[in-house]
Amino acid sequence: MPRYHSLGTIPHKRHTIFEKPDGGLYYEQLFGTIGFDGMSSLMYHLHRPTQVKEILKTQDISPKAAVEYHVKSRLLKGLELSPEDDFLISRKVILFNSDVHVSLAAPKKSMTNYFYKNADADELLFIHKGSGTLKTLLGEISFGYGDYILIPRGMIYQIHFDTEENRMLITESYHPIYTPKRYRNWFGQHLEHSPFCERDFRLPSNLQTHDELGDFLIKVKKQGHLHDLVYASHPFDVIGWDGYNYPYAFSIHDFEPITGRVHQPPPVHQTFETSAFVVCSFCPRLYDYHPQAIPAPYNHSNIDSDEVLYYVDGDFMSRKNIDQGYISLHPAGIPHGPHPGTYEASIGKTKTEELAVMIDTFRPLQLTQTALNLDDGKYFKSWLE
């Protein structure tokens, strides 16, 4: 859970007069969630953050299901998704339900002629390839290979890339995304047994305050539609802010795996949680050290959840014919486990170098046509002897 953070200049007391050096007042804005009960930050703007000049167009971007029901395990070849110049256009939903949208993106160009805000969902961006800078009205965060970037709903941002080769896994959550509650004490501080702590989070810095008037295009996603709004002032005009509601980054390489004498269940890899799904990080680690341990995972039934595994890098010891960017979908109600031969072959192994991101949803996912286009079509038979 992010800790208290502050950047720029703020008044001694909130909700009091804050004067500009040349006269006039800065404009205070509460940026909060869950009514007035969730995390919030207080911002101070040069100009009113409410000045909408025009609403240009609205586009329906809600995902469409390509199949109504599914019980088939699938393997999607994610890196076969074609790159596109624009960040938003490159985002392709592959799996979704009413709680979460899972997308792939391969953007080539930086966002320079518009700003973006998701008014409905927290966004968790996982950076598989590429690097750059997330620019927001609360400051900037540099990112690179292996980074999670958590962007709270309602945050206005741009992404500037260093190169044209960029690959992302994007999780849009219609429920707030937190770090697991069991990792935190009653004050919110991460406990000693947590596989990461506050020191591992990278918070916004380098607050850039733009005093500019004109026409500024902000694309707002709301209720499955993308709305083009023109604001009268630059959205990054914040002179200072403080609070708990802001974007932050966390590297999967800073996740410290929890191991044991025998194979540990997937919750030990948990990194983020919501009321509707969890996100786990599978990282290089030592294997189980009981003398008769079987390091490969045991067969297990997905009775209550769909399991999505995004393979990032390394050697995936329980799977055959897996490459970078592949995505396996194991639907609820259908047991799955290690591929034939891998269970036995894992005995005696001492470590794994696998790197993967897992999303387990508590309601069934639907597949889009983009997902079917990436599907190898035969993965569900891969457990046959």
What's 363's domain CATH number?
2.60.120.10
Q: Are residues 87 and 215 in the same domain?
A: yes
Between 287 and 169, residue with greater pLDDT:
169
Answer yes or no: are the C-beta atoms of 292 and 286 closer than 8 Å: no
Answer yes or no: are the C-beta atoms of 116 and 231 closer than 8 Å: no
Could you tell me the pLDDT band of residue 296, with boundaries at 50, 70 and 90?
confident
Identify the helix (H) or strand (E) that includes residue 370.
helix 369-374
DSSP classification of residue 76: E
For residues 145-171, average pLDDT: 97
pLDDT at 45: 98
Q: Are residues 246 and 257 in the same domain?
A: no
At 77-120, the pLDDT tens digits run 999 999 999 999 999 999 999 999 999 999 999 999 999 999 99
Answer yes or no: are the C-beta atoms of 204 and 241 closer than 8 Å: no
Retrieve residue 246's tokens.
């802001």
Q: Which domain holds residue 277?
A: 252-381
Answer yes or no: are the C-beta atoms of 196 and 256 closer than 8 Å: yes
How many domains are there within the chain? 2
Q: Are residues 149 and 187 in the same domain?
A: yes
Cα dihedral sign, 119-120-122-124 = negative
Q: 195 in the Ramachandran plot: left (φ > 0), alpha (ψ -120 to 50) or beta?
A: alpha
pLDDT at 1: 60
Q: Are residues 186 and 227 in the same domain?
A: yes
DSSP classification of residue 265: P
Any idea which of 17-21, 146-150, 184-188, 250-254 has the lowest mean pLDDT? Answer: 184-188
Q: Are residues 136 and 16 in the same domain?
A: yes
The rounded percent of the chain whose pLDDT value lies above 90 is 80
